[in-house]
Amino acid sequence: MTITNSKFNMPLKNYKRVIGETPDEVNTFVETSMDILERIHELLDQKFEGKQKLLAEKLGKSEAEVSKMLNGVQNFTVKTITRLEWAFGARIIAVCTDDLMAAFIPVKMPAAIGFRRITLAERGAKTEHFEGMAIKSTNATASKTTYSAS
């Protein structure tokens, strides 16, 4: 006998509605926070054998305090991130810029994460805007439709 109860076969009444109504800001908050957690634990494995206790010693904090920093979707502060980066001796996050002369390490925004706006204008001309650039192409069929995706 196998007991399964996955999200795919549960007749959930509100799940889809809640997911559908969740603002982009909340979606991005959760995804970014989870990305940061993944990176923190990658570095914890690399630099401290995956042991929170060793990181706590390095930071001069209690294990309980460090556990809070390392677990759960949360509102990471710049202070927390920079403290962890110091302890790991490695970067956790980076700031994006298109300015090659910027006075910090420039990181190009990855295409998969960048904001893309596609406009299907009159006469079927399609315009894609990405990171401030506009790429024009033809062969679009719909007229005057604008949508955005991230």
User: Closest separation between CB of residue 67 and other proteins, Å?
Assistant: 9
Which residue type occupies 80?
T
| Complex with other proteins: residue 24 or 99, whichever CB lies closer | 24
| Helix (H) / strand (E) containing 59 | helix 52-59
User: Closest separation between CB of residue 69 and other proteins, Å?
Assistant: 10
Half-sphere exposure (CA, 13 Å, Cβ side) for 6? 2
| Complex with other proteins: residue 32 or 127, whichever CB lies closer | 32
At 68, list the tokens: 């809070």
Main-chain phi, psi angles of 29, to 5 degrees? -60, -50
Main-chain phi, psi angles of 98, to 5 degrees? -100, -5
User: Closest separation between CB of residue 44 and other proteins, Å?
Assistant: 9
Residues in touch with other proteins (CB under 8 A): 1-7, 10-15, 18-19, 21-23, 26-27, 29-31, 34, 37-38, 41, 68, 70-75
